Amino acid sequence: MPQVRIIAKNFMDMVASLPTMKLDKLYTNPFICQAILRSLPPLAKKYVLEMLYIDGPVSAKMLEEWVLTDGSSKHRVAVDRLIQLRIFSETVDRKKESSYKLNTTFQINLRKHLTDREVLPREPMPPNIVARLSSSEELEAYALGQWECFLLQLINSTQAEKPTNFSSSMMKIFQRGLLSQRDKEAPRLTESGFQFLLMDTNAQLWYIIREYISNSEERDIDSADLISFLLELSFHITGEAYNMNTLTEIERHMIKDLADLGLVKLQQGRKESWFIPTKLATNLSVSLTDSSSRKQGFVVVETNFRMYAYSTSKLHCEILRLFSRVEYQLPNLIVGAITKESLYNAFENGITAEQIISFLQQNAHPRVAERIPTVPENVTDQIRLWESDLNRVEMTPAHFYDEFPSRDVFEAACDFAREWSGLLWEDSKKMRMVVKAEIHMQMREFLRGQK
């Protein structure tokens, strides 16, 4: 099974891995330049800004002079990122001194942004055509509802009320890596599936979008087009209506899928149809850098391992069910208990104690979020203890050696293994030893030499 890593920030890696031609094409769009700048690590942002009005190349030494010794790793990360994204081009001169130059298209676009009036990706429709726009609360509720519905369907819950329009093959692709299905068994969430559910909305969204984009390549749609449209979408104003006619064929096709995810709301007027970006869409470029959730938490954990979750969401209930025993449910409250059994269940599914704790901390109800610690220490300690209970035995692949011809050879072999720090156990009386599997090859070579 292909290993799917669940890391929200990988989206920029995807952009970075685009071929040169496509990347250069992306940079002709000022909005993408802006979104990509915002996604950079802070130090990289600073370098770009510094060099914005410098036309020639800047020597690498000059940049490094600003960095303190303990920041040099961050400096490397920043510069590598910039080169990877082709924002910096590195040139090495005859004296082997390297210098960096900003990508010209990128530079011009950002300069324009600083001095000229910012242009909207597209003008919103005048309010007299659009019949009635929903309020921002309605829109947010719509977006979250849509997203939740999608997630419920994703984890194959029976709770999902209305199916989304994604074809089942599309859904399968999203589920790849998140669910595993053995023959004739109900599909079970994998370890990364759990991780996925515990992530916040923005991170989840990027994961899905990444899958969506990589899948679109199989359908012969240029991924650069999709990326640029998504990033552009994040610069639209929430709650304004935009005409569908301004979209290209591909975008129009895509926006239907985005509506299923809750990124946009589609509405049909008498003559024209339009789309309204929701918060999820406009937060897209924020979440590239900052995936910490900015929404209110809902969970209160008490020292007696009882957990109160003020939520009406079925999804929340499903998530809590992953690691706790839900005792009863009121219209706006889920009451559960964190028990040894429920946690063992979670650990068996590959979910770690740290994940559970960080989920509880990140989603703490505002009343307890101010307190330190937000989750009682005895609870967090106990969760960790229960996890370490399961890890009392550590497995190390190893090889067993015996029947050494002489004590000298045995001792030399022991010393050799110790030098490679691979000796796990020795019994000098019976001349037996156990050595880590990694150094088995070296060990064999060594013993052959001894003969």
Q: Footprint of another protein on this chain (CB under 8 A)?
A: 6-9, 34, 37-38, 41-43, 45-46, 49-50, 52-53, 65-68, 70-71, 74-75, 110, 113-118, 120, 195, 199-200, 203, 237, 285-286, 289-292, 294, 352, 354-355, 358, 362, 369-370
Q: Which residues, in sequence order, are CB contacts of 25 under 8 Å at separation 6+?
A: 224
Nearer to another protein, 215 or 293 (CB): 293
With contact defined as beta carbons under 8 Å apart, do 232 and 118 qualify? no
Taking phi first (over 0 means left), then psi (-120 to 50 degrees means alpha), and beta for anything else, what does residue 239 get?
Answer: left
With contact defined as beta carbons under 8 Å apart, do 438 and 424 qualify? no
DSSP assignment of 243-296, as one string?
EGGGS-HHHHHHHHHHHHHTSEEEEE-SS-EEEEE-HHHHTHHHHHH--S--S-
Nearer to another protein, 114 or 424 (CB): 114
Secondary structure (3-state) at 402: coil
Strands 179-180 and 188-189 come out as: antiparallel
CB of 240 to another protein, least distance (A): 10
CB of 45 to another protein, least distance (A): 5
Taking phi first (over 0 means left), then psi (-120 to 50 degrees means alpha), and beta for anything else, what does residue 123 get?
Answer: beta
CB of 31 to another protein, least distance (A): 12
Nearer to another protein, 117 or 392 (CB): 117
Question: Which amino acid appears at position 417 of this protein?
Answer: A
Count of alpha carbons within 13 Å of 127, Cβ hemisphere only? Answer: 5
Nearer to another protein, 114 or 131 (CB): 114
Nearer to another protein, 43 or 307 (CB): 43
Nearer to another protein, 159 or 358 (CB): 358
Report d(CA 273, CA 247) in Å as an integer: 11
CB of 167 to another protein, least distance (A): 28
| 208-224 CB burial, b ≥16 within 10 A, e <16 | bbbbbbebbeeeeeebb
CB of 111 to another protein, least distance (A): 9
CB of 116 to another protein, least distance (A): 7
Nearer to another protein, 178 or 417 (CB): 178
CB of 66 to another protein, least distance (A): 5
CB of 46 to another protein, least distance (A): 6
CB of 110 to another protein, least distance (A): 7
Give the phi and the psi of residue 307 in degrees, each rounded to 5. -130, 125
**How many residues are given for the chain?**
451
Give the phi and the psi of residue 273 in degrees, each rounded to 5. -120, 155
Element (H, E) at 197: helix 191-198
> Which tokens hold the place of 287?
């979440």
Nearer to another protein, 364 or 443 (CB): 364
Nearer to another protein, 180 or 238 (CB): 238
With contact defined as beta carbons under 8 Å apart, do 316 and 299 qualify? no
Sheet architecture: strand order including 264-268: 242-243, 273-277, 264-268
Nearer to another protein, 58 or 409 (CB): 58
Burial of 434 (0-12, 13-18, 19+ CB in 10 A): middle
Secondary structure (3-state) at 135: coil
CB of 237 to another protein, least distance (A): 7
CB of 61 to another protein, least distance (A): 13
Nearer to another protein, 313 or 361 (CB): 361
